[in-house]
């Protein structure tokens, strides 16, 4: 996955050509294109002499705007230099040559990439950057008090947030929560900072490196966001989301909120999150909703296909046809006693498949004392 992420970063973020990346990595150009397009998963600036260009100067701001829009999209969805030239001629009465447009587009793309890489603003000051963490609170489920976990996505620039409630902090709940929030935002934050949550990080290595879970690497590659991780024992590095976890619990989740269906509760969670943006920012004295517009402008485009937040486990049924997952017991069928089966796990279901990947039975996933 490290090679795949490198390919996607070089092509989709930096805008390098498929052939160029293929030469760098010593792989086939078709391999680079495959992973770059896959849906289901700083040198010092030289001093440039400014020259007056009566033909190009009026359209440069238009081209810049289009390039900035396209940087939020995958390479295959971006305007080519030829298409930019055609649009200028058709809609802006451009009289210059296509060579002038191609030269400017090529130069400006390089400049924009350099400007992006040289920006070293703190995460808290960047519109569209986010932090993520889990909290927990009591809830009343069908009259019984239970502890549930809520995943918070916070925007330090605007002080906006979203959250989703789940029965666990496992990988499936973690990824499903992020996917739900991306869909609600209709975009993907360009940068997300995490604590060293076990659903994402297998092991913290020396010199700040991380061994990531395969599920998280695939999820990040699918949505195309950049991720950062806090140093161990450095909670201040995600202080915004930690403060937001407390704010949400104190203002929306206490006393215990009653619910019957988790889906309905999470719809309400989104409504509460949006409603909270009517208040003024604690420092900037502007409505959070107004500041959040800058966050939304920086969101990356959603991929064309939703990510299925699941994992598979290959198991052997006992002599009664039962399997165990996370110390919970699920039935297959007595005729599968002693046989190998596959469990497809989402946050709320366990689907048992035979060797032909045909569905044998689907169970509600069990948590806690269930």
Position 117 scores a pLDDT of: 55
Residues 87 and 156 in one domain: no
Domain of 132, in residue numbers? 123-297
- 184 and 264 in a single domain? The answer is yes
**In the predicted model, what is the mean pLDDT of residues 139-159?**
94
Are 182 and 224 members of one domain?
A: yes
Cis peptide bond prior to 255, omega within 30° of 0:
yes
**What's the pLDDT at 48?**
56
Residues 279 and 317 in one domain: no
Mean of all residue pLDDT scores within the chain = 88
Residue 305 within a domain: no
In a domain, 209, yes or no: yes
Query: What is the number of structural domains in the chain?
Result: 3
- Based on the domain organization, do 128 and 239 belong to the same domain? yes
Residue that terminates a domain, selected from 71, 98, 118? 118
Burial class (CB in 10 A: 0-12, 13-18, 19+), 327: exposed
Same domain, 240 and 173: yes
Look at residue 281 and tell me whether its pLDDT is greater than 80: yes
Which CATH number covers residue 319? Answer: 2.30.30
Least confident of 132-141, 178-187, 224-233: 224-233
* pLDDT computed for residue 55 by the predictor: 80
pLDDT mean over 263-292: 95
Kindly state the percentage of the chain with pLDDT values over 90: 54
Q: Do 18 and 11 touch, CB atoms closer than 8 A?
A: yes
pLDDT of residue 70: 82
Q: What is the pLDDT of residue 18?
A: 86
* 216 shares a domain with 175: yes
Could you tell me the pLDDT band of residue 81, with boundaries at 50, 70 and 90? confident
Same domain? 287 vs 179: yes
pLDDT at 50: 60
Which burial class, exposed, middle or buried, applies to 144 when counting CB atoms under 10 A from its CB (0-12, 13-18, 19+)?
exposed
pLDDT at 28: 87
For residue range 23-53, list pLDDT tens digits in order. 888 888 888 888 888 877 733 445 556 666 7
Dist CA 32 CA 329 (whole Å): 43
Q: Does 369 fall in a domain?
A: no
For residue 302, is it within any domain? no
Does residue 150 share a domain with residue 269?
A: yes
Q: What is the pTM of this model?
A: 0.70
Query: Which of 93, 118, 143 represents a domain boundary (last residue)?
Result: 118
Please report whether residue 194 resides in a domain: yes
Predicted confidence (pLDDT) per residue in 297-354, tens digit: 999 999 989 999 999 999 999 999 999 999 999 999 888 999 999 999 999 999 999 9
Q: What pLDDT is attached to residue 44?
A: 45
Q: Is 177 a member of any domain?
A: yes
| pLDDT at 123 exceeding the cut of 60 | no
CATH code for position 248: 3.30.420.10
The answer as to whether 75 is a domain residue is yes
Q: Are 309 and 179 in contact (CB under 8 A)?
A: yes
- Residue 7 pLDDT class (50, 70, 90 cuts): confident
Q: Is residue 197 part of a domain?
A: yes
- Among 118, 142, 170, which residue terminates a domain? 118
229 and 249 assigned to the same domain: yes
pLDDT tens for each residue of 184-208: 999 999 999 998 899 999 888 887 7
Same domain, 153 and 139: yes
Q: Are residues 128 and 273 in the same domain?
A: yes
């Amino acid at each position: 996955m490290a090679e795949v992420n490198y390919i996607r970063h070089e092509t989709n973020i930096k805008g390098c050509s498929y052939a160029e990346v293929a030469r760098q990595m010593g792989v086939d150009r078709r391999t680079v294109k495959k992973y770059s397009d896959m849906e289901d998963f700083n040198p010092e600036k030289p001093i440039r002499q400014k020259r007056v260009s009566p033909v190009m100067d009026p359209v440069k701001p238009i081209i810049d705007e289009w390039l900035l829009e396209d940087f939020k999209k995958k390479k295959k969805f971006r305007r080519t230099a030829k298409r930019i030239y055609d649009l200028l001629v058709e809609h802006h009465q451009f009289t210059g040559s296509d060579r002038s447009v191609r030269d400017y587009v090529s130069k400006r793309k390089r400049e924009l990439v350099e400007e992006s890489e040289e920006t070293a603003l703190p995460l808290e000051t960047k519109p569209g950057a986010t932090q993520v963490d889990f909290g927990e609170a009591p809830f009343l489920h069908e009259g019984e008090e239970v502890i549930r976990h809520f995943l918070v996505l916070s925007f330090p620039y605007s002080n906006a947030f979203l959250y989703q409630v789940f029965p666990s902090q496992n990988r499936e709940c973690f990824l499903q929560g992020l996917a739900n929030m991306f869909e609600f935002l209709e975009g993907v934050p360009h940068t997300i900072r995490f604590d060293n949550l076990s659903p994402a990080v297998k092991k913290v290595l020396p010199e700040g490196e991380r061994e990531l879970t395969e599920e998280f690497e695939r999820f990040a590659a699918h949505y195309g966001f950049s991720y950062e991780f806090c140093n161990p024992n450095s909670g201040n590095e995600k202080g915004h989301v930690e403060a937001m976890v407390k704010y949400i619990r104190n203002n929306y989740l206490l006393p215990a909120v009653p619910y019957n269906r988790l889906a309905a509760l999470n719809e309400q969670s989104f409504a509460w999150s949006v409603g909270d943006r009517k208040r003024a920012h604690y420092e900037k004295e502007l409505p959070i909703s107004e500041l959040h517009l800058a966050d939304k402008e920086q969101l990356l485009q959603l991929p064309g296909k939703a990510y299925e937040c699941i994992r598979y486990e290959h198991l052997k049924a006992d002599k009664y046809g039962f399997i165990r997952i996370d110390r919970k017991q699920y039935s297959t069928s007595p005729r599968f006693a002693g046989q190998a089966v596959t469990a497809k796990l989402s946050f709320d279901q366990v689907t048992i498949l035979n060797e032909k990947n045909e569905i044998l039975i689907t169970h509600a996933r069990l948590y806690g004392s269930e």
